[in-house]
Amino acid sequence: MRRTALALSCLLLTLAGAAQAEPEGWANDLAEELMSPFCPGRTLSACPSPQAKTLVVWLGVQQAAGRSPDDVKAELVERFGEVILPAPPPRGFGLAAYAFPVLAFAVGGLLVWAFLRRQTHGASQLVEPLATDPLDPELEAIVDRDLVT
């Protein structure tokens, strides 16, 4: 019973100390990276809700306890789901978020290449080779007369 009271008081002191100061190190980085489950579209550090502030303090306590950021992130994903991650994981349907831009870029490049090839190929067919037959002498006389005057 005494050990439980001592552990609880140490935890409360740690929480009080962490609440007074902003977390530093990986806890602060993680708070700026992870999305808030309480404020859609905002990170944990930018969310004004009291639940988000409590979660930021909890991150500082986890850092002070010596836990690794990967373990803490895995626990948060388990607790809140993948909505807390800034980007979907590259597996399953989330793979589309990574594959679609690459695929769109490749298809766009292929379309531009095909368009340019068609334009240059069509232009070369429109140009007729110069005639090698001599011009009509009457036509040459008319051209010469018009050029002189």
37-51, 69-83, 94-108, 130-144: which range is least confident on average? 130-144
CB 16 within 8 A of CB 60: no
pLDDT number for residue 51? 93
Please give the C-alpha separations between residue 51 and each of 34, 38, 56, 125, 130, in angstroms, as whole numbers: 14, 7, 9, 71, 82
> Under DSSP, is residue 86 helix (H, G, I), strand (E, B) or coil?
coil
pLDDT number for residue 97? 75
Percent of the chain with pLDDT over 90: 39
DSSP code at position 131: P
Phi then psi for residue 121, to 5 deg, are -70, -40
Per the structure block, which two tokens stand in for 97? 């978020």
Classify residue 59 by burial, with Cβ atoms within 10 Å: 0-12, 13-18, 19+.
buried
Round the average pLDDT of the chain to a whole number and report it: 79
Q: How far is CA 146 from the centre of its chain?
A: 68
Percent of the chain with pLDDT over 70: 74
- What is the residue type of 3? R
Assign 25 a pLDDT band (cuts: 50, 70, 90).
confident
Please state the length of the chain.
Answer: 149
Interval 83-112: pLDDT, tens: 888 877 777 777 777 788 899 999 999 999
The pTM (predicted TM-score) of the whole model is: 0.50
Per the structure block, which two tokens stand in for 77? 């994903």
Average pLDDT over residues 47-57: 92
Assign 12 a pLDDT band (cuts: 50, 70, 90).
very low
Whole-number Å distance between alpha carbons of 13 and 61: 10
Helix (H) or strand (E) holding 84: none
